[in-house]
């Protein structure tokens, strides 16, 4: 099953309407996205909890790394650069942090509030190589802006 971005956007908008708690919003978004697409093997957030540090937040799937410094890995690169990381082959990334050996490809998107402050990153892993497309980048970014850009 592939994600229907129009439908999932409407669903997430309805579920998160009026909510301002960041953790509740992250939990809802992670759950809805994870169950909307068979490519999504691990779906979750790493939250900024201190200077240059991400800690695991709400997620769906197997265990994740508990903390990731901005200086390491694909999640760290997204937090550090503020840019989406779309990785077709995680084994080709020298400093990839393998939280799960089954991960083949990954997309990581920065999550910002209305002031532009970095709240964390949305990390989606797939056990399929080259699972994510530019469409995923655009549509997931729109969802994150809709949910977190109003905080």
The pLDDT value recorded for residue 99 is: 79
The closest alpha carbon to 123, from 140, 102, 109, 137, belongs to 109
What CATH number did the domain enclosing 122 receive? 3.30.450.40
Range of the domain at 124: 5-148
Over residues 85-140, the pLDDT tens digits come to: 999 999 898 888 877 788 999 999 999 999 999 999 999 999 999 999 999 999 99
Over residues 44-98, the pLDDT tens digits come to: 999 999 999 999 999 999 999 999 999 999 999 999 999 999 999 998 988 888 7
Mean predicted confidence (pLDDT) in 17-37: 98
DSSP for 105-119, please give it: EEEEEEEE-TT--EE
Number of structural domains in the chain: 1
């Amino acid at each position: 099953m592939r994600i229907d971005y129009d439908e999932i956007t409407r669903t997430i908008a309805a579920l998160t309407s009026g909510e301002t708690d960041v953790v509740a919003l992250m939990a809802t978004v992670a759950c809805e996205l994870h169950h909307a697409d068979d490519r999504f093997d691990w779906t979750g957030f790493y939250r900024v909890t201190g200077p240059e540090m991400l800690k695991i937040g709400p997620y769906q799937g197997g265990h994740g790394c508990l903390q990731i410094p901005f200086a390491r890995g694909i999640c760290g690169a997204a937090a550090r650069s503020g840019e989406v990381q779309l990785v077709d082959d995680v084994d080709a990334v020298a400093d990839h942090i393998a939280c799960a050996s089954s991960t083949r490809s990954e997309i990581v998107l920065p999550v910002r509030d209305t002031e532009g402050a970095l709240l964390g990153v949305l990390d989606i892993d797939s056990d399929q190589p080259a699972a994510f497309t530019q469409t995923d980048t655009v549509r997931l970014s729109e969802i994150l802006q809709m949910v977190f850009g109003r905080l």
